[in-house]
Structure 1
């Protein structure tokens, strides 16, 4: 990423316009191009995800999560076969808007955005299909999005 930023003469890839990258990406070596493409598109997805969350647009947020996983897998190359299977299995379940790996990569954690009414079926279906494909039993942590940290009066 530093090499790509230096090539384009910017302090960091977040300072590079996607149009500028697209116009000259072919001048980079393939590995540097893929890494930079992930960073630039992930920055754009992050801003779009913020907008989708503010609008309550779960389908758009889910599509962004799916695209993020694909980019982490294909461009940044920090996923793993087990995580790819988990994301693939999760993404096709009814009520799942999107799924992607999370964390530092190369390990075993994914996050899925699932309609509340579909969670029970989602867990059962993903556990069965993922187990059949990998011989591993996944663990699930069901949670809800909230407004964020706050002080509570006692």
Structure 2
């Protein structure tokens, strides 16, 4: 049972880290779920209130940062609410429409289309599209760092 428990924990950590890049996967929630798997298979005794409080705060920050950083990229490059919505839609459906490159093309195209619908010219719309990709990459970096911190805290909590 120990092997199954650790295999599930590692699998959830891997899904969580993949979710930092691929938005359809649960990301931080998978990592958070791994803590419960550890508790059910081994013991919740190692985790006190501070562990759960810190991890929950990180998850909340991840959710807020994910949207805020992506929106920041669009706004920073002069985008409107329509381009933020378009970019968000693009990041969700892009990977399904164009599996290999949809993660980048989706938010870019969504932001460009959203900005065009808002009445901007092609030059500004393309600039906003670039901003959506910058926001996406920045968001991925933030998510990877925070999720690695979650995993590192888990390990440190078990060791110390």
Per the shorter chain, which TM-score range? 0.3 to 0.5
RCO higher in structure (CA 8 A, sep ≥6): 2
TM-score calculated relative to the size of structure 2: 0.33
Pick the structure with more strand per residue. Answer: 1
TM-score calculated relative to the size of structure 1: 0.33
Pick the structure with more helix per residue. Answer: 2
